[in-house]
Amino acid sequence: MTTIKIADAIADLLRDGMPVRFEAYDGSGTGPEDSPITLELVNQRGLAYLLTAPGDLGLARAYAAGDLVVHGAHPGDPYELARRLKGHTKFRKVSPGEIVALVRGLGFANLKPPPPPPQEHLPRWRRAMEGLRHSMGRDAEAISHHYDVSNAFYRHVLGPSMAYTCAVYPDADATLEEAQHEKFDLVARKLDLKPGQRLLDVGCGWGGMVIHAAKEYGVKALGVTLSQQQADWGKEAIDREGLGDVAEIRHLDYRDVFETGFDAISSIGLTEHIGVRNYPSYFGFLRDHLKPEGRLLNHSITRHHNRREETGAFIDRYVFPDGELIGSGTHIKEAQDAGLEVMHSENLRMHYAMTLRDWNRNLVDNWDACVDEVGIGTARVWGIYMASCRLGFEWNEIQLHQVLAVRTGDDGSDGFPLRPSW
């Protein structure tokens, strides 16, 4: 039986070649010898991960499990690794004869899938057995998987703002905290918040927008989130700020909010989780909860096109289970079809690339504390996830849109000035 060198086999399977140095536990190596980054496959389980889940998912499994070790890049910010691997992780089509030769050369045992790392969520077909996609129960489970990790971990990565959405950088030298403050303030200005008004913030996270609106604009703000840990943190933050009489956070699905007649609604980072097929009911619900001339600001990650496209396996299994993205044109269409008048749309794509850059830096700076809090596997997953997403924004594969709309009055009044005031 002919033995195949592992590095040669992997390099041959890759559709576009090996862009970094790759070395395997059998002593083989491939890829440019002068590469500043080396991937080291340290054991047989890692090989089985690569072969049984070709592409991003297999790489993620081996990396999270510690079977694929990166040299030359910090695991908290593997941006350079992600940049070099981009477009080089897919396997080419393999003929039946090549499969037979591969099995003979590498061993049949390497084609038996090992159990996935504990950080991995169930595949879509398994989740479907536990409830319809974007049902209240399944949404609650998906949100818990991503957000109920550890408030301390998020504090290390996100910084004092605890804002896990795209910041808005007033200039290139602004700090992450300055940019997150500007994001919340931009939302408030677009909503034209005034003292005494009522704001509903759906998908409120740790309460950043609720606190900003109540503290800086004097509104009475209600936030809702499906994450219990976020709600607990937000309630404590409200108490620390002494805002208990004007700000509230509930552990609640937005669909269960019973109050109506809000002057403004902010949705910052929720639309990604609700499912495209639910957009009509989502925008309809928000419209029905606004008073006439009440404004909606929808802040969401979008695609650069409006075609339906499933999220990749790595993001779906490790980061955002059941997450769905589509273009801003679909957001605008569905908002209009729900009876909202769309007044303005803004693309903040590069701001999100900068936000992810700064989150990666925070992860590096607090690496030991993050590992102590969530474990080395989860910390690695977060490093590669944020670095990869940064590339997606830089390459215009994904975008970030703020869409401003209003519930126009029966007489056509919208309450807007002739020119934007924000």
Give catalytic residue positions: 389
Is residue 361 within 8 A of residue 320, CB to CB? The reply is: no
Cβ proximity of 422 and 186 under 8 Å: yes
Contact 167, 355 (CB under 8 A): yes
CB atoms inside a 10 Å sphere around CB 33: 8
| DSSP 8-state assignment for residue 111 | G
Query: Which are the contacts of 373, defined by CB distance < 8 A and separation ≥ 6?
Result: 150, 152, 153, 156
- Alpha-carbon separation of residue 249 from 132, 225, 233 (angstroms): 27, 8, 10
End-to-end CA distance of the chain: 72
CA dihedral 121, 125, 128, 133 (to 10 degrees): 80
The position carrying tokens 């309450």 is: 415
Backbone angles phi, psi at 50, to 5 degrees: -65, -40
Residues 75 and 79: their CA atoms lie apart, in Å, by: 9
Closest CA to 134 of 306, 320, 318, 290: 320
